[in-house]
Chains A and B, each alone.
Chain A
Amino acid sequence: AQTVTQSQPEMSVQEAETVTLSCTYDTSESNYYLFWYKQPPSRQMILVIRQEAYKQQNATENRFSVNFQKAAKSFSLKISDSQLGDTAMYFCAFMSGDTGNQFYFGTGTSLTVIP
């Protein structure tokens, strides 16, 4: 079974600063996808960024970027120029490219952006 680990239950960052959220995963597969989802207080799950394991280039979406280290099975999320609206739970998720399409989620990191 796949496992996803987020070792930082809570983090905080000053507005306009940069913060990095950690995620590691365990799998024996070589074909898979990794995601970061944001869950604000409304509890809606919002896709932040997605990375295909076969791509060496790290994904970037505006202020959000990832550091994907396939050999180390690490997938961290960097948020630049943090904004108050970034305050939320952030979940890292794994999806196999070969054996089913369900997501395996980490336990989440609660991020607070401090004005």
Chain B
Amino acid sequence: QQQVKQSPQSLIVQKGGIPIINCAYENTAFDYFPWYQQFPGKGPALLIAIRPDVSEKKEGRFTISFNKSAKQFSLHIMDSQPGDSATYFCAAAVMNYGGATNKLIFGTGTLLAVQP
């Protein structure tokens, strides 16, 4: 019940394409859903996050879509660029009292390659 299932494992798109990465969860107590971007040799960097009270959040070229009833959320990258080539992780957590996240449960990661 604590798992976050992520797909696909890897993804190749052409420059300008819109890669979509999907995640699903079981624990209905999860109420914080961030996405992280990790380049080789670097730590994960927070990209964008969403709470379940909204169905979509957009920051620049990155959009999270959230479907609470289906317990699914996805990351869309608009106008993808070769510089977006990285591993993307979704995650989920239960926000404890005071709005602070406790531990994150991570998906298995998606290796994205954007070809020029």
Do the two shown chains form a genuine complex with each other? Answer: no
Which B residues are within 8 Å of any A CB, using their own CB? none
Q: What residues of chain A have their CB less than 8 Å away from a CB belonging to chain B?
A: none
